[in-house]
Amino acid sequence: MITKQISLILIFFLFAFFIFGFYADENSAGAGLYSGDLIHIWKNQKTFNNYTLQEALNFTAVYDPQHYQSSKMPLSYILNKFLNPFAVTIEGFRKSVFFISCFVPFFLYLTLKNKYSKIDKPLIGLISSFIFLSPYFRTTGYWGLEENYGILAITLSYYFFYNLMSVNENIKKNILTVFFLTLFSSTCVYFDQKLVIIPLICFLSIIFSKKDFNLKILTSFFFIIFALPCFYIIYLWGSVLPASDSIHRNLGVIHPEHIAYTITIIAFYLLPLIFLKKEKIETIFKNFFLSKFNLSLIAVFSLYIIYLIFFSKLVLPVLGGGVIPKLSLMLFDDRVIQNIFLIFFTVCSFLVILTFLNENFHDFFIIFFFIILSIIIDPIYQEYFDPLIVLLALTFFKTKLVINFRNVIIVLSYYSLFLFVGNVYYA
């Protein structure tokens, strides 16, 4: 009983702390403040507010930083133009994004309540509130950025995905569920192209399931319909990125060193979740090197490390790269020592990822997608994975997690420390 009361108190505190951050103009991820990315976001929104939809879309297809400057598809601006009456002023726009962000943990709670039906609801609410500790979720919610729309779409996608996959009703009863699943998972891409992994997971899971054949056809039909605007945007841009970002982000150039950055970032978020795994920590490590799958991946990864050491021209980025490269640059001046520091933590991070996955091929596919995608993305930012990785681990991952009060407190303490460091770093 006492744990339920503490859980409710902590939920209230986290929510209140999130609200406080907005009114305190918190900037825990470096992209906030009126002089930060809000300038570009508001400029984009004004373009859609002041022009017809087709005219605004045309501005996204050319290099015109006076009207549009973003790497993402413009669905959020379109929705704000037609559905958000407060998006006519910069303050109204900013407050409306914050208001929407406040509801993300609520929808996450509805999702996790189904998946972890045997867990006390206050505890589910507490683990759902972890997102309030994400520096990037907070900064996005405070300063009108684009990322939280995709986070909300992921949460809603999993809600309908779980409902569909966990029941065996006939197709007539599933039509609405399939419709909303394909709708929300498709919108993930329109908010953030890298979230194409969400509709891909949903589609493949349904196609290779034992669901009715007609349901699979219906799913395919809906996905095709919802993909048509995406194909139009890609045709308009001539790329998966707007013209400005295709130029500045060196689209098409391969960056093998980004694998190291991405692995360290992903492991940073998976590390505390190891405490939520069903197996005991000592059992996990005992069986780790008995796995042929792990040993095979370690052998392949060793080749990548050899490449980094002997064949790459590794220079740590000043912009992006995640927490480990930043820490390396802060601690050391010598480039060789900086690289040794990065490589050491890359190896440790890879082992953390394998430990968490524990031969789960489904989850490995998701992680592998982001690792491969990072090769063509420049630069790599930590915000690309926060709070995305934890959110996926709680929803679409198949790795079994044990949610109890002790484990949840460990996880929340870890992310609280990260938020504290973020605020200090960007103060």
pLDDT tens digits, residue range 332-343?
Answer: 889 899 999 999
SS3 of residue 304 by DSSP:
helix
Report pLDDT for 366. Answer: 95
Given this model, what pLDDT does residue 185 score?
97
Residues of the chain falling short of pLDDT 70: 1, 169-170, 243-252, 279-282
Say what the pLDDT of residue 174 is. Answer: 85
Neighbours of 266 (CB within 10 A): 23
Closest Cα to residue 125, out of 14, 219, 234? 14
Tokens at 367, concatenated: 């992680």
Those residues whose C-beta lies under 8 Å from the C-beta of residue 386, and which sit 6 or more positions away, are 134, 135, 136, 137, 269
The pTM assigned to this predicted structure is: 0.94
**Spatial separation of the C-alpha atoms in residues 148 and 153, rounded to whole Å:** 9
* 314's tokens: 């590794």
Please check whether residue 318 is in contact with residue 335, taking contact to mean a CB–CB distance below 8 angstroms.
no
**pLDDT value for 210:** 87
- Written as one letter, the residue type at 157 is S
Q: Per residue in 355-372, pLDDT tens?
A: 888 878 899 999 999 999
CA-wise closest residue to 387 among 150, 202, 50: 150
- Count other C-beta atoms under 10 Å from residue 295's C-beta: 12
Q: Which two tokens stand for residue 386?
A: 């926060």
Q: Is 381 helix (H, G, I), strand (E, B) or coil?
A: coil
Residue whose C-alpha is closest to residue 135's, from 355, 418, 329: 418
Whether the CB-CB separation of 329 and 338 falls below 8 Å is answered with yes
pLDDT of residue 275: 82
